[in-house]
Structure 1
Amino acid sequence: MADHSSKGNSSDNGELRRVYKSPMQQMNDFFASDPLGGLLGSIDSFFQRHAMEQFGGFPVDVYETSTDWVVKADLPGVKKENIHIDTLGDRLRIAVINQEDSEINNANNYYRRERHMARMEREIPLPYQIHRQRTKARFLNGILEVRGPKYPKTRNTLDIE
């Protein structure tokens, strides 16, 4: 039977020795060990993936030529069928609805199906009334261009007698 009276006197014999750590050092050790890495990593990836949505959606340029108003929206990686355009008097609404399905099968009869849906939308006020019949949209190389003739806004208020 071994003599346990020398416990704590020597760390050379493979016994554990208690070491005092300050609360700050304990906190540093906690975060350095990365116990929440999966959670924090997923939060980081969420904010990176959805940054466009959080900061006003996608970038747009609004300008006019001598005869038309023009709205250009940068939509890289978006498919044409996922773009929806609505006219609302003197405002243009551009919405991108992206749905992705992914399925994974393997030899162990494990099956996983994930669905992701992202929606980005911008409503752009224009200094002109939009005439739907004469407004055209085209999508080429990730850039959506909507162009329409310049008609003055109609007054939607009533005069009081």
Structure 2
Amino acid sequence: MNELMRRSGLEPLFDDMLKGFFIRPMTFDTRSDLAAGIKLDVKEDEKAYIVHAELPGVNKEDIHVRIDGKHVSLTAEVKKETEVKEGEKVLRSERYFGQVSRSFELAHDVDEATADASLRDGVLELLLPKKEKTTGRKLIIK
């Protein structure tokens, strides 16, 4: 019987009936939009990579970017507080604090000395110039 209900899609309906006659329990999503991860766009031209990372509601002081050769890491401290009132009566007060991070590797080394970052309207923009390729050098033995 359970297999038949599962295949027919009636199992959630039956569960609802047992839980209170088609009334689902009330839930609140207290997580941040960032809890699922940092969304990225990476573009490349001949000289640099341009990265856009969505970090809504995060202060620039709470964002950390680390570059190590081709490897780029983003870390953000997320703080979200919500309070729902009805007149003077507080109906719900929630807080979410956490850390999100994202790492990725590029095809070329990044020139850390000239890399730049800016934050506007919840979007972090990284300008990551490609490091000039160094040619080998022949050493003269003295």
Q: Same fold (TM over 0.5)?
A: yes
> Relative to 1, partners in 2 of residues 1:89 and 1:144: Cα closer, same or farther, differing over 3 Å?
same
Q: Structure 1 residues 53 and 152, CA, compared in 2 at 3 Å: closer, same or farther?
A: farther
> How far has the Cα of 1:99 moved from its partner?
3.4
Q: Is the 8 A contact 1:83 1:96 kept in 2?
A: yes
Does the 8 Å contact 1:85/1:93 carry over to 2?
A: yes
- What does the per-residue CA deviation read over 1:109-139, in whole Å, with 9 as the maximum and x for residues that have no partner? xxxx976312111102111112221111111
1:32 aligns with 2:12: no
Segment of structure 1 superposing worse, 66-75 or 144-153: 144-153
Distance 1:152 1:75 in 2: 30
**Bigger share in strand:** 2
Question: Which residue is equivalent to 1:122?
Answer: 102
| Paired residue secondary structure (2:131) | coil
Instruction: Specify which structure has the bigger relative contact order, considering alpha-carbon pairs within 8 angstroms and separated by 6 or more residues.
Output: 2
Report how far residue 148 of structure 1 moved: 2.0
1:77-156 aligned within 5 A: 77-99=57-79, 116-151=96-131
Give the Cα–Cα distance (whole angstroms) in 1 for the partners of residues 21 and 133 of structure 2.
Answer: 62
- Could you tell me whether the CA contact under 8 Å between 1:92 and 1:125 is conserved in 2? yes
DSSP 3-state at the match of 1:148: strand
Going from structure 1 to structure 2, the CA distance change for 1:53 and 1:119 (only over 3 Å counts) comes to same
Q: CA deviation at 1:70?
A: 1.3
Q: Is the CA contact 1:90–1:153 (under 8 Å) kept in the aligned structure 2? A: no
User: What TM-score, normalized by structure 1, do the two folds share?
Assistant: 0.55
Shift in Å, 1:143: 1.3
**Please, which runs of 5 or more residues in structure 2 have no aligned partner?**
1-13, 84-92, 135-142
Number of equivalenced pairs: 113
Find the counterpart in structure 1 of residue 35 from structure 2. Answer: 53
> Percent identity between the aligned chains?
26
Q: Which runs of 5+ in 1 are unaligned?
A: 1-25, 104-112, 155-161
TM-score, normalised to structure 2's length? 0.61
When residues 125 and 77 of structure 1 are mapped into structure 2, their CA distance, relative to the original with a 3 A threshold, is same
